Structure 1
């Protein structure tokens, strides 16, 4: 018995000593919430590395557990080998929940997400990760309408029009049918990041990206599907950070002539450029430019414009002014840490369009010296013409989904998030109140359509009670109650749901609208 305990504590000590292996955090909200608690002065373009935000040390449970099962469940990942030369980790991806909808409709619903995330580090220089997701879902009616209205387009043989099929799940993948009213979808993400110098890293993969300090991002969010990207991150001294991100985008429009078994989608290009300045120890200000770039249409392909390769913010803005072959969003992003409070905000607009403004202001407050207690309030605004290009092929979107706010233009939203956890038991609530929201779920599609939609007010409320086993990757069991109320000139209705489930914090689904 003594030998077993000595072996266990030796392994635990080795894991602790070498636990600072280079590691990049997942991008989901659970990880962002705790990252901002650490008070690290980091550039808020996610994913970020653990040596910037000290996530795993912050969440590591200090309580000693002598049982092997308890140690595995509470204090480590399923596979975890950490040595001087490198490390490897493996974690399950779960979001399995089932419930019933009541109110104006009465139907069962469920979400069944299973997968695996594998990560590795080599000599504190190279980090790699890969995740695979297999999913089936039966969604509430309003969410069904959102995802089916974002489905892929096939050309009609009789004319130049299109017909729409299947659906697209925010942050996940396009779908195929499942039973009578469900969705089946699978996808994989991965990345490799190389810390070339202490001040320089490069990465490539199809990992999701998020810009900002809020729950939403008005400038670039992970609402659309993961896409191939290349990123350069360079820090100059203690004050300046420069980032260049170039991505391959898609419009889910099938080209009319296929040279293989299945027609390809129309391509476009996406870009992010940023310059952040650390004005004081706790104040960071960033200039951000997001851009979409034409690569032709279904008939004629073309190379991306040369300005795409300019490595500073402003490239898309210049190109749009020259020939309109890009669409740009210029913006400011800032956060300021004061005591236990993080104040943050964003502002952006297209320089050539009226009523294209987007904005955000928010506050994160930790009442105690623990990331387990959070008060989070945020206000988001998008004007009536936000994210819309005169050429719908280069709307500020990807895979038929907005890459800013998930509801696109014409939004005024208040978010209130509360969470408290004691001895692994947690309670949380989330309120999304839309003073203004369009019921047109076809915004920003890459086809010409007449503008339509009714303005409505929406209240979406979620309350959860559960038990968090492992803070490293957010393994939880939970029960939830959700309420959605909608009021517009044509309807005044409400629905509510009760769900039970188990999940890890390794995937996001945005249906809070």
Structure 2
């Protein structure tokens, strides 16, 4: 007998929660945190580290990462590392350990100021902290106040975010975290166009209008986690995940809004195995059509990801995903953590959409990382052998990329180059309900499909408190022609295509876009930044005047990643 998905998740959670062998467990380092830049560098330096080397699925477990970085710090102190840390890396390591003080056993947190009233900011990264043998708690305010202007008729743009984030552990057994912000923003015109098309704010989903051309929305995330046994970590959360080593992901990115998921991570020998069950929001009509709010349709998304450290320098990943229509409930067969999803789908007569993928990461010469992803949404052998015919069933995506740290021996100057190629109709199914979307937003690449994209990113930390980032992106995409589905908009069914052959990247009405931005952030005190950024974006549809946008902003940010619109 089928039961609804959340009940079975709760049942599984209870089983593992009361496992007597459970050990200390932490929360996860939030996506976009400044710590990830340091962890990327350490991964490349150490090449095949038993902890840092498994970077495909994010976010990372805070306890595991902190303990590993603490070990690297101790080895550096002894002069036993096979590589040399820059002074800025050493500074960033101390900051990481201070931010994650509850797991940095034996480390003395650095202090940059006196505590307030003997209660607040005893540690640099915590407004208020509790540290007892059975209970640990960190509470921090969240704020992002940005103001600027755009030349596209928007006028002033702004971001007004206030909230709170807390994390902790109970009895050294259960980890928890919660993040809640209230947001008002006014965005450049191309972002508002996205909201109008999808009835969703990028990365957030539901919204209300705020003043003129503005949006008001909550961002609420949270989860619990525990270690069920020596090799098993369990997380039950409402948040986002990211799979891959690139700036983009062709499997699963953090572009869409939050969703409910159960994540079971198994780490043993040279394997890291991730089993993820998620509940997503399926396609729904915009509220503007009838002004009525109703319960949104639900889908269920299941993923397996196996990472294998083949050699000291090479890590391979294998991925499968399926999206199921939630109207028939959750099929219990998908709870099997070591089964091939496609075979279950066929046995059940399901109409869901399956994807498989392969990825690789190679750390070379302690300064370079090569990475890539291959997604297969559909594979018809005879059409692959005759690829030049452009059959619609060739629904694949490819990513290749490189990270180069300390470019030309300039300390803490890092370069990332990446190219993404996604064929028409990739991520789509014949029913459109089980396309790879969540809350009317793509779950993988924000552009959807039918595009090629080239990205260059330079990150430079010339001073421990100064973060400089420059980005240049270019993409060519084929848009629908006179309402005819040409494979770029992944909200449509591929059955609405006009023909079977002649589909190539850019088929349809070609649009070319260039995106260039520069950002500078000065860290006043721990996790408190002054920001300044500027962006120039061109968007040219064939036979139409170019739509060029320039916008800039300055502001103040505390315990939150920058709000960006990189599409």
Same fold (TM over 0.5): yes
Match of 2:195 among 139, 147, 150: 147
The total of aligned residue pairs comes to 465
Find the aligned partners of 1:330 and 1:470 in 2 and give their Cα distance.
44
- Give the corresponding residue for 1:47: 59
- Give the corresponding residue for 1:161: none
- Give the corresponding residue for 2:552: 498
Decide whether aligned partners of structure 1 residues 320 and 209 sit closer, same or farther in structure 2, where only a CA change above 3 A counts.
farther
- Give the corresponding residue for 1:215: 247
SS of the residue aligned with 2:217? strand
Q: Does 1:35 align with 2:39?
A: yes
- Give the corresponding residue for 1:346: 373
Decide whether aligned partners of structure 1 residues 373 and 196 sit closer, same or farther in structure 2, where only a CA change above 3 A counts.
farther
CA contact (8 A) 2:432 2:493 kept: yes
Find the aligned partners of 2:411 and 2:496 in 1 and give their Cα distance.
47
- Give the corresponding residue for 1:226: 258
Query: Following TM superposition, by how much is the alpha carbon of 1:41 offset from its aligned partner in structure 2, in angstroms?
Result: 2.0
Find the aligned partners of 2:334 and 2:177 in 1 and give their Cα distance.
28
Query: Following TM superposition, by how much is the alpha carbon of 1:105 offset from its aligned partner in structure 2, in angstroms?
Result: 3.3
Unmatched 5+ stretches in structure 2: 1-23, 44-51, 71-91, 96-108, 381-392, 482-486, 498-506
1:352-367 alignment, distance < 5 Å? 352=379, 354-367=393-406
1:48-447 alignment, distance < 5 Å? 48-54=60-66, 58-61=92-95, 65-68=112-115, 72=121, 75-102=124-151, 104-105=152-153, 107-151=155-199, 168-236=200-268, 238-253=269-284, 262-296=293-327, 302-312=328-338, 314-316=340-342, 318-319=344-345, 323-338=349-364, 339-352=366-379, 354-367=393-406, 373-421=413-461, 422-436=463-477, 438=479, 443-445=489-491
Decide whether aligned partners of structure 1 residues 193 and 84 sit closer, same or farther in structure 2, where only a CA change above 3 A counts.
same
- Give the corresponding residue for 2:517: 462
- Give the corresponding residue for 1:299: none
- Give the corresponding residue for 2:530: 477
Decide whether aligned partners of structure 1 residues 376 and 124 sit closer, same or farther in structure 2, where only a CA change above 3 A counts.
farther
- Give the corresponding residue for 2:103: none
Query: Following TM superposition, by how much is the alpha carbon of 1:394 offset from its aligned partner in structure 2, in angstroms?
Result: 0.4
Decide whether aligned partners of structure 1 residues 480 and 212 sit closer, same or farther in structure 2, where only a CA change above 3 A counts.
same
TM-score (norm 1): 0.82
Find the aligned partners of 1:295 and 1:51 in 2 and give their Cα distance.
35
Find the aligned partners of 2:443 and 2:452 in 1 and give their Cα distance.
17
SS of the residue aligned with 1:213? coil
Find the aligned partners of 1:114 and 1:193 in 2 and give their Cα distance.
26
Find the aligned partners of 2:207 and 2:334 in 1 and give their Cα distance.
31
Decide whether aligned partners of structure 1 residues 81 and 292 sit closer, same or farther in structure 2, where only a CA change above 3 A counts.
same
Decide whether aligned partners of structure 1 residues 265 and 122 sit closer, same or farther in structure 2, where only a CA change above 3 A counts.
same
Query: Following TM superposition, by how much is the alpha carbon of 1:49 offset from its aligned partner in structure 2, in angstroms?
Result: 0.8
Q: Which has the higher strand share?
A: 1
Unmatched 5+ stretches in structure 1: 1-19, 152-167, 297-301
Find the aligned partners of 1:437 and 1:113 in 2 and give their Cα distance.
36
Decide whether aligned partners of structure 1 residues 424 and 392 sit closer, same or farther in structure 2, where only a CA change above 3 A counts.
same
CA contact (8 A) 1:255 1:266 kept: no
Instruction: Render the CA deviation track for 1:289-336: whole Å, top value 9, x for unaligned.
Output: 12210123xxxxx22334422323631465158635210110012212
SS of the residue aligned with 2:258? coil
Query: Following TM superposition, by how much is the alpha carbon of 1:146 offset from its aligned partner in structure 2, in angstroms?
Result: 0.8
Decide whether aligned partners of structure 1 residues 36 and 29 sit closer, same or farther in structure 2, where only a CA change above 3 A counts.
same
Q: Please, what is the CA RMSD of the aligned residues? A: 3.2
Match of 2:540 among 474, 487, 505: 487
SS of the residue aligned with 2:136? strand
Q: Which has the higher helix share?
A: 2
Of the structure 1 ranges 138-147 and 499-508, higher mean CA displacement relative to structure 2 is found in 499-508
CA contact (8 A) 2:186 2:214 kept: yes
Find the aligned partners of 2:343 and 2:252 in 1 and give their Cα distance.
16
Of the structure 1 ranges 24-33 and 132-141, higher mean CA displacement relative to structure 2 is found in 24-33
Find the aligned partners of 1:94 and 1:59 in 2 and give their Cα distance.
24
Decide whether aligned partners of structure 1 residues 380 and 469 sit closer, same or farther in structure 2, where only a CA change above 3 A counts.
farther
Find the aligned partners of 2:145 and 2:416 in 1 and give their Cα distance.
26
Find the aligned partners of 1:42 and 1:84 in 2 and give their Cα distance.
30
Query: Following TM superposition, by how much is the alpha carbon of 1:448 offset from its aligned partner in structure 2, in angstroms?
Result: 9.1
Match of 1:26 among 22, 27, 30: 30
Find the aligned partners of 1:330 and 1:275 in 2 and give their Cα distance.
12
Decide whether aligned partners of structure 1 residues 360 and 388 sit closer, same or farther in structure 2, where only a CA change above 3 A counts.
same
Query: Following TM superposition, by how much is the alpha carbon of 1:94 offset from its aligned partner in structure 2, in angstroms?
Result: 2.3
